[in-house]
Chains A and B, each alone.
Chain A
Amino acid sequence: DTGVSQDPRHKITKRGQNVTFRCDPISEHNRLYWYRQTLGQGPEFLTYFQNEAQLEKSRLLSDRFSAERPKGSFSTLEIQRTEQGDSAMYLCASSLREQFFGPGTRLTVL
């Protein structure tokens, strides 16, 4: 399968814990995006990488969130001191032109 993959698919954590998600983009894609989707809403843009450079961050991305793409390949999204409001589906997409989405990581914060 040469699509975008995300790991884990599901994560349940307790409030205050840190979590990290991984995204593996399609191999030749130089652009990588993170989005967040809450119940009943469309995905909202969080941040964007071109190769290893993080070029844009949404105001939704508080200082508890950090994203990296160290070698311009896979990316990680870390949430520190999780809150119940962080419960959502976290989507990764990669592109040369059109964006191709992964299946998402569903986070539940208890």
Chain B
Amino acid sequence: AQSVTQLDSHVSVSEGTPVLLRCNYSSSYSPSLFWYVQHPNKGLQLLLKYTSAATLVKGINGFEAEFKKSETSFHLTKPSAHMSDAAEYFCVVSDPRRTGGGNKLTFGTGTQLKVEL
């Protein structure tokens, strides 16, 4: 079975300071990993994905994440937070071996990011 654990349910940062949202995964194979963002009253949006190519993945809006197999981690970072980054962020895992069976996503419980002036 595959799973992800988001280590913080809430993170608060000041605008202009770095953002770190932590995620650990559990998988018996090399997984596909994603970060999605959910703004209030809007659909989930894909920020970035890791699919066994480069371990440092760059996404939209200045976010990036690093896949560390030795630590089973896939933390999301951004050098400088903006007020518009306030939202809920989900770390997600899927099984890339599933062919013809779709890529069922397994979500973490989410991290609510608050950005203060």
B43 close to A45 (CB less than 8 A) = no
A42 close to B108 (CB less than 8 A) = yes
If over half of A's interface residues share one DSSP class (helix, strand or loop), that class is named, otherwise mixed; here it is: strand
Determine the residue in chain B with the shortest Cβ distance to A106: B41
The smallest C-beta distance from A74 to any residue of chain B, in angstroms, reads 17
From B42, B45, B100, B106, A45 is in contact (CB under 8 Å) with B106
The smallest C-beta distance from B1 to any residue of chain A, in angstroms, reads 13
Q: Is A33 an interface residue (CB 8 A)?
A: yes
Stretch of A11-19, A62-70, A77-85, A97-105 at the chain-chain interface: A97-105
The smallest C-beta distance from A87 to any residue of chain B, in angstroms, reads 17
Q: Number of B interface residues, CB 8 Å? A: 22
B103 close to A99 (CB less than 8 A) = yes
Determine the residue in chain B with the shortest Cβ distance to A50: B102
* Residues of chain B lying within 8 A (CB to CB) of residue A108: none
* Residues of chain A lying within 8 A (CB to CB) of residue B49: 98
A56 close to B103 (CB less than 8 A) = no
19 sampled A-B residue pairs with Cβ under 8 A: A4-B43, A33-B102, A33-B104, A42-B108, A42-B110, A43-B44, A43-B107, A44-B107, A50-B102, A56-B101, A56-B104, A91-B43, A98-B46, A99-B46, A99-B103, A99-B105, A100-B46, A101-B36, A103-B41
> Interface of A with B (CB < 8 Å)?
3-4, 31, 33, 35, 40-45, 48, 50, 55-56, 91, 93, 95, 98-104
